[in-house]
Structure 1
Amino acid sequence: MVTLLDTTGDASKRVRHPEKAHRPDTEVLRKPDWIRVKAPVSRGYQETRGIVRENKLVTVCEEAGCPNVGECWDKKHASFMIMGEICTRACAFCNVSTGKPGALDQNEPENIGKAVSQMGLQHVVITSVDRDDLADGGAEHFEKVIYAIRAASPSTTIEVLTPDFLRKPGALERVVAARPDVFNHNLETVPSNYLTVRPGARYFHSIRLLQRVKELDPNMFTKSGIMVGLGEERNEVLQLMDDLRTADVDFLTIGQYLQPTRKHHRVVNFVTPDEFKSYETVAYTKGFLKVSASPLTRSSHHAGEDFAQLRENRAKKLAMAAE
């Protein structure tokens, strides 16, 4: 899951991260003009917020402090975060609290299905905290949510953004068998950063997980995303692209990392829009069907429009191959 909003200096946010309390404060870089967004105030935003509250749901839009929340919620787009607000891991980039999670809410799948129907969503993104405490990592709960959405809103396409299900045999297979339209799992950063940025995860396990999805269902779209500005080298990003293409991943997202508080990993640099455009161009030459690369790109931003484009691009590729 990707942390999205810079709340540096906001003491109210720090109490959410007791596990990071003893980390030294990190340097804070001034954000460039191209990274700034307006505060959400529209009627559409308020209506979406009301539906989320009414159904007692958690959204990654809020938990991760997404800078695009005003735009997306105004259009009645939302990404739901299941299995609670407490994660079992403490990634250095993430704004979600770490600790011992509570029991799963057995009404959550039905409530999400109801909210999707009320909002009239054509495409929905379902993500979650890491639940290493569960025997299946929460795979069955993902399955139940997918089925509940299908029952409440049959025409809605479903994208899942899952944890890595590390050391959870059969978990991935269960989620794939529920037939989401898009299976997303984010690498988050280049492998050289994993020890400091994503210490609970394993880079090549994540690559293998995405590859396994295609082995189980060759027609399922796969997707992955990374943040830049964490000290990675350009060549490392290009190698990561090659690794994802080896796993036959269809869709790549690249966005700017923004640190949530001074206790989180620092922003090493702000990548310029021109550099993002260069990454996009290179990624397309490597064979991705869809690439989204910009400072404000996030895994679920414009997910519905991107999914439509993804299907169209695959159809064009198959038509060209048939000629």
Structure 2
Amino acid sequence: MTIIPINVEPTRQPNAVRMPVWIRQNLGQDVHYGKTDAAVHEHRLHTVCEEARCPNRGECWSRGTATFMLLGDTCTRACGFCAVKTGKPDWLDADEPNRVAAAVMELQLRYIVLTSVNRDDLADGGAGIFAETLRQLRLRDGQIGVEFLTPDFRQDQAAAVSTVMTMLNELPDNVRHDLVWGHNVETVPRLYQTARRGSKYVRSLSLLALAAQQSGVAAKSALMLGLGETRDEVLAVLHDLRVAGVSRVSLGQYLRPSLDHLPVISYVHPDEFAEYEEAARAMGFDWVKAGPLVRSSYYAEEIQQQSR
């Protein structure tokens, strides 16, 4: 079994194997695509769909859905797999939550995923912007589904969770609905030094455990495969997530954004993804998505549909 050495750096070397035929990208160019694109840029917003070069942007935007990226487009960390640019952010807009809510209302979306860059330069890591965006959305439409996909808030996780929960609990009873709190562990612990510099596996589990302990919150995480992890390592991570209280999980194929990013070591066959899905369900996860093009926010709205 191929294992990637922990000292491998992002490189312009080619992927270890050729892309298989089962990797397909739906470009999606129907009427909803243009409408989503117009709303995002009219309100001067960022989406992880664009910034991270997600392979599902065409499909999702054609369905009229998008994952909004808060706190600008510059991340304070430099993960070896991620296409979002890194640097020292100089952008913080207190009106951003209002613009996100306005775009969501314009698009008539029913389920929203809110993510962000890492903002280690901010005392609260950006938790206040997440909380205010949640408030703006729920006050405009009390029935809208909201899912977070947050950083690890390494400055003070307890304070970040408290900021969000205080805002949620202060909402009127008729709009105080459940929240999905996602944070992606991304890969197995052995590969963190290569793939997730600045992050720690234990710290990510800690945030997920804190979120899972909150009333009305379901914790969610995701793994990307193909960086050289073993099957046993993946199963161990799934076990750790369940112990932390995570109830929802997705697994997808790592696709290299450019030659400057970590190479793909292996392409996981769809049958193997199906086996991981079966194993996750056997562990007790109540929502599982696994497949080559699955991403953490891919068809996330099914969570809301299944809960009805």
Contact (CA 8 Å) 2:10, 2:262: kept in 1 or not? no
Among 124, 142, 145, the residue aligned to 2:112 = 124
Query: Counterpart amino acid of 1:174?
Result: T
2:14 counterpart (27, 30, 42): 27
The correspondence of residues 109-258 of structure 1 with structure 2, limited to 5 A, is: 109-168=97-156, 170-179=159-168, 181-215=179-213, 217-258=214-255
Q: Secondary structure at the match of 1:35?
A: coil
C-alpha displacement at 1:172, in angstroms?
2.5
The 3-state SS of whatever aligns with 1:110 is: helix
Structure 1 distance, partners of 2:86, 2:156, is 20
User: Number of paired residues?
Assistant: 289
Q: Distance in 2 between matches of 1:37 and 1:214?
A: 33
- Percent identical among aligned pairs is 44
Normalised TM-score (structure 2): 0.90
Q: Which moved more, 1:51-60 or 1:267-276?
A: 51-60
Greater displacement, 205-214 / 246-255: 205-214
CA–CA distance in structure 1, aligned partners of residues 26 and 243 of structure 2: 39
Q: Deviations over 1:157-193 (max 9, x none)?
A: 1000000001225122212333361000000000000
Counterpart CA distance in 2 for 1:23 and 1:102 is 26
Aligned mates of 1:218, 1:239 — CA distance in 2: 27
* 1:302 matches 2:299: yes
Deviation at 1:37, TM superposition (A): 1.3
3-state SS, counterpart of residue 81 of structure 1: strand
The match for 1:266 is: 263
CA shift digits 1:29-79 (9 cap, x unpaired): 421111121323222101110111111110111111111111111111111
2:113 aligned counterpart, secondary structure: strand
Aligned to 1:37: 25
Whether contact under 8 Å (2:153, 2:160) holds in the other structure is: yes
Contact 1:116 1:153 in 2 (8 A): no
Match of 1:317 in 2: none
User: Counterpart of 1:73?
Assistant: 61
Match of 1:315? Answer: none
Structure 2 residue aligned with 1:93: 81
- Match of 1:159, SS state, is strand
Aligned residue type for 1:43? V
CA distance in 2, matches of 1:134, 1:71: 34
Q: What is the RMSD computed on CA atoms of the aligned residues?
A: 1.4
Work out whether residues 165 and 172 of structure 1, in 8 Å CA contact, stay in contact via their aligned partners in 2: no
- Describe the shift of the 1:270–1:23 C-alpha distance in structure 2 as closer, same or farther (beyond 3 A): closer
Equivalent residue number for residue 172 of structure 2: none
Mean alpha-carbon deviation: is it higher for 77-86 or for 61-70?
Answer: 61-70
Does the CA contact (< 8 Å) of 2:251 and 2:289 recur in 1? yes
Aligned residue among 283, 287, 293 for 2:284:
287
Give the whole-Å Cα distance in 2 for the aligned partners of 1:148 and 1:55: 15
Q: Tell me by how many angstroms 1:247 deviates.
A: 0.8
| In structure 1, C-alpha distance between the alignment counterparts of 2:292 and 2:251, rounded to whole Å | 8
- C-alpha deviation, 1:23, in angstroms: 5.3
Measured in 1, the distance between the counterparts of 2:204 and 2:10 equals 27
Task: Decide whether aligned partners of structure 1 residues 98 and 230 sit closer, same or farther in structure 2, where only a CA change above 3 A counts.
Answer: same
Structure 2 unmatched runs, 5+? 1-8, 169-177
Runs of 4+ in structure 1 over 4 Å off: none
| Residues 1:51 and 2:34 aligned together | no
- Amino acid of the residue matched to residue 129 of structure 2? H
3-state DSSP of counterpart to 1:182: strand
Cα separation, 2, equivalents of 1:206 and 1:130? 13
- Measure, in 2, the Cα distance between the counterparts of 1:186 and 1:178: 23
> Gaps spanning 5+ residues in structure 1: where?
1-21, 313-323
| Offset, 1:128 | 0.1
Give TM-score scaled by structure 1 length.
0.86
Could you say what secondary structure the match of 1:293 adopts? strand
Q: Which amino acid aligns with 2:257?
A: P
